[in-house]
Amino acid sequence: MRQWRHLTRRPGRRLGGLLAAAPAAFIFAQAADAASGELYKSTAGHAFRIAEVAVGLKNPWAVAFLPDGAMLVTERDGRLRLIRGGKLEKEPVAGAPKVVARGQGGLLDVVPHPQFASNGLIYLSYSAAGEGGSNTAVMRARLNGNRLENPQVIFEAQPKTGGNNHYGSRLVFAPDGTLFVTLGDRFTYRDEAQNTANHLGKVIRINDDGSVPKDNPFAGKTGAAPEIYSFGHRNSQGIALRPGTSEIWEHEHGARGGDEVNILKPGANFGWPKITYGIDYSGAIISDKKALPGMEQPVVYWVPSIAPSGMAFYAGDKFPKWKGDLFVGALAKTHLRRLRLNGAKVVEQEELLAGLDERIRDVRSGPDGFLYIVTDDSSNGRVLRLEPAE
């Protein structure tokens, strides 16, 4: 297993003696703002510029693409925004769920149903209040113009707890139509990540209506939450389907060091907090173990932390030298990171866009072959695309 230490480099520089790649961009069918004049270069051989698609957002968390060329963007304070015709609509989408918009909580991920074109369904994850505090919930609703109709809460993580951190909340549909949801350990309840009787520190798998798939690894097991797919996670804010496979990859925040990228496996224990490559924020030792029998090792980990958020495999044709590469946003280290893969091994890494000095909250490979990123700011969060300069 490889360890990659974060090194401060300008965009396009080698990391750890290995070449890395640059992000891609996704030019929407409709026009957007002109690209910035600054030219960025990747060690993989691509040059690109960035263009603003939307600005002035309040802590945007996720972006999703619709078949008609529109885009949905969540703002953590509870607003769902619509970009149509290349412009951000002034009024938010009506009918978004009520959220606990404190700390890391709020309106978080958004994905369309795989058959959105025929059923109009979108799925939202968010922090929901209830007896005992709050926790992650998933709602689905039909998007009709600029409003959500027929909302249904299809999942609520249990138990609800105090505190405003570690909600997880990334969503991805698998090829079989099931929905994967990442759930954080709620920060002060980290030991519960090893307890399969609850949802803290887990990744769950549910059907599109919230019911439990019969082949889930804990379905029918006494005392276990049947939605659980894997456990021993800390706070996962990135999940993606590897194109051409059924592999679901996720990443999660470490504490001080120990951010991880993992390939999910049914019933697998990813070790938190029994094993970790990081230490506590105070400097205290969380565990003196980095490996134990029966616990998975990450594909890659970072010390110090980059604070990963958002993740996408590049599947487009606009930047052919990046095809199949994994892109991860970084909050603490304010860059977009590209990982070149050889099977399940990371063989190259590159920091991109560090010169922006913005927290990158989300990254998505767009349907037109470009890559979008979302920057997290309380007053001027942005949706950006990267345009090839060749």
Identify whether 13 is part of a domain: no
d(CA 280, CA 93) in angstroms, rounded, equals 40
Catalytic residue status for 166? yes
pLDDT at 157: 98
Domain of 343 in residue numbering reads as: 40-388
Identify whether 4 is part of a domain: no
pLDDT at 325: 98
Break the chain down into helix, strand, coil percent, rounded to 5.
Answer: 5, 40, 55
DSSP 135-197: EEEEEEEEEETTEEEEEEEEEE-SS-BSSS------EEE-TTS-EEEEE--TTTTGGGGG-TT
Q: What is the mean pLDDT of the chain?
A: 91
Identify whether 230 is part of a domain: yes
Please give the average per-residue pLDDT across 360-369, as a whole number: 96
A 10 A CB-CB count for 3 gives 12
pLDDT at 307: 98
pLDDT at 1: 35
d(CA 280, CA 265) in angstroms, rounded, equals 27
Identify whether 10 is part of a domain: no
A 10 A CB-CB count for 283 gives 7
161 neighbors 131 (Cβ within 8 angstroms): no
294 neighbors 309 (Cβ within 8 angstroms): no
- Tell me the pairing of strands 326-330 and 335-342: antiparallel
Please give the average per-residue pLDDT across 11-36, as a whole number: 34
pLDDT at 277: 98
pLDDT, tens digit, for every residue of 235-268?
A: 999 999 999 999 999 999 999 999 999 999 999 9
Give every CB contact of residue 8 below 8 A, 6+ residues apart in sequence: 354
Please give the average per-residue pLDDT across 187-204, as a whole number: 98
Q: How confident is the model at residue 37 (pLDDT cuts 50, 70, 90)?
A: confident
Q: How confident is the model at residue 9 (pLDDT cuts 50, 70, 90)?
A: very low
110 neighbors 122 (Cβ within 8 angstroms): yes
pLDDT at 278: 98
Q: What is the pTM of this model?
A: 0.92
Identify whether 25 is part of a domain: no
229 neighbors 222 (Cβ within 8 angstroms): no
Percentage of the chain exceeding pLDDT 90? 89
Closest alpha carbon to 201 in 223, 179, 182: 182
Identify whether 5 is part of a domain: no
Q: How confident is the model at residue 390 (pLDDT cuts 50, 70, 90)?
A: low
d(CA 174, CA 111) in angstroms, rounded, equals 12
Please give the average per-residue pLDDT across 67-85, as a whole number: 97
Please give the average per-residue pLDDT across 364-379, as a whole number: 96
> Catalytic one among 6, 46, 113, 166?
166
3-state secondary structure of 116: helix
Q: How confident is the model at residue 35 (pLDDT cuts 50, 70, 90)?
A: very low
Identify whether 34 is part of a domain: no
Residue 373's φ and ψ, nearest 5 degrees, are: -130, 155
Token look-up 């109009």 returns 120
d(CA 62, CA 59) in angstroms, rounded, equals 10
- Looking at the structure of the chain, the number of domains it has is 1
Burial category of 120 from C-beta neighbours within 10 Å (exposed 0-12, middle 13-18, buried 19 and up):
middle
Identify whether 33 is part of a domain: no
DSSP 202-252: EEEEE-TTSPPPTT-TTTT-TTS-TTEEEE--S-EEEEEEPTTS--EEEEE
Q: How confident is the model at residue 36 (pLDDT cuts 50, 70, 90)?
A: low
Query: Residue 189: which CATH number?
Result: 2.120.10.30
The C-alpha angle with vertex 309 and arms to 311 and 105, in degrees rounded to 5, equals 130
Half-sphere exposure of 296 (CA within 13 A, CB side): 22
d(CA 259, CA 339) in angstroms, rounded, equals 14
pLDDT, tens digit, for every residue of 122-149?
A: 999 999 999 999 999 999 999 999 999 9
Could you tell me which residue, 242 or 21, shows the higher pLDDT? 242
pLDDT, tens digit, for every residue of 46-62?
A: 999 999 999 999 999 99
Burial category of 130 from C-beta neighbours within 10 Å (exposed 0-12, middle 13-18, buried 19 and up):
middle
